[in-house]
Amino acid sequence: MKEFDLIKTYFKEQSVSRKDVLIGIGDDCALIAPSEKQNIAITTDTLVAGVHFPEDTPPRAIGHKAIAVNLSDLAAMGADPSWVSVAITLPNVDEEWVGEFCTGMFELCEYYNVQLIGGDTTQGPLSITVTAQGLVPHNQQITRSGAKAGDWVYVTGEIGGAALALQHYYQKLTLVPEVLRVVQERLDLPMPRVLAGQALRQYASSAIDLSDGLIADLTHICEASSVGANIILDKLPVPAEVLQVLGTEQAIDLALTGGDDYELLFTVNEDNKVGMETALTDMGIKLSCIGQLNGSQKITALLNEKPVEIKAEGYQHFVDGV
Q: Point out the annotated binding site.
A: 28, 43-45, 52, 73, 119-120, 144, 209, 211-212, 260, 315
Q: Residue 237, SS3?
A: coil
Q: Point out the annotated binding site for Mg(2+).
A: 28, 43-45, 73, 120, 209, 212
Q: How far apart are CA 192 and CA 114, in angstroms?
A: 13
Q: Point out the annotated binding site for substrate.
A: 52, 260, 315
In a domain, 106, yes or no: yes
In a domain, 73, yes or no: yes
Residues 84 and 212 in one domain: no
Domain end point (choices 72, 105, 137) = 137
Q: Which amino acid is at 217?
A: D
Residues 127 and 197 in one domain: no
Residues 184 and 211 in one domain: yes
Residues 27 and 70 in one domain: yes
Number of domains in the chain: 2
Q: Residue 166, SS3?
A: helix
In a domain, 314, yes or no: no
Residues 304 and 156 in one domain: yes
In a domain, 92, yes or no: yes
Domain end point (choices 102, 137, 172) = 137
Query: pLDDT for 159-193, tens place per residue?
Result: 999 999 999 998 999 999 999 999 999 999 999 99
Please say if the pLDDT value at position 227 is more than 80. Answer: yes
In a domain, 143, yes or no: no
| For the chain, percent of residues with pLDDT exceeding 70 | 94
Q: Which residues pair with 305 in a beta bridge?
A: none
Residues 107 and 189 in one domain: no
In a domain, 316, yes or no: no
In a domain, 237, yes or no: yes
Q: In Å, what is the CA distance from 92 to each residue of 58, 62, 250?
A: 16, 16, 41
Domain end point (choices 113, 137, 161) = 137
DSSP string, 41-94: EEEEEEEEBTTTB-TT--HHHHHHHHHHHHHHHHHHTT-EEEEEEEEEEESS--
Please say if the pLDDT value at position 25 is more than 90. Answer: no
In a domain, 267, yes or no: yes
Q: What pLDDT was estimated at residue 273?
A: 98
Closest by Cα among 226, 55, 202, 233 to 127: 55
CB contact at 8 A, 77 and 109:
no
Residue burial 50-82, b: 16+ Cβ < 10 Å; e: rest: eebbbeebebbbbbbbbbbbbbbbbbbbbbbbb
Query: pLDDT for 65-84, tens place per residue?
Result: 999 999 999 999 999 999 99
Residues 161 and 301 in one domain: yes
Query: pLDDT for 240-293, tens place per residue?
Result: 999 999 999 999 999 999 989 999 999 999 999 999 999 999 999 999 999 999
The CATH number assigned to the domain holding 93 equals 3.30.1330.10
Residues 196 and 237 in one domain: yes
Chain mean position to CA 82: 16
Confidence of residue 314 (pLDDT cuts 50, 70, 90): low
Q: Which range marks the domain in which residue 278 is found?
A: 152-308
Residues 35 and 107 in one domain: yes
Q: How far apart are CA 249 and CA 147, in angstroms?
A: 29
Please say if the pLDDT value at position 315 is more than 80. Answer: no
Q: Report which of residues 32 and 64 the model is more confident about.
A: 64
Residues 113 and 164 in one domain: no
Residues 183 and 132 in one domain: no
Q: Point out the annotated binding site for ATP.
A: 119-120, 144, 211
Residues 93 and 121 in one domain: yes
Q: Report which of residues 6 and 151 the model is more confident about.
A: 151
The CATH number assigned to the domain holding 257 equals 3.90.650.10
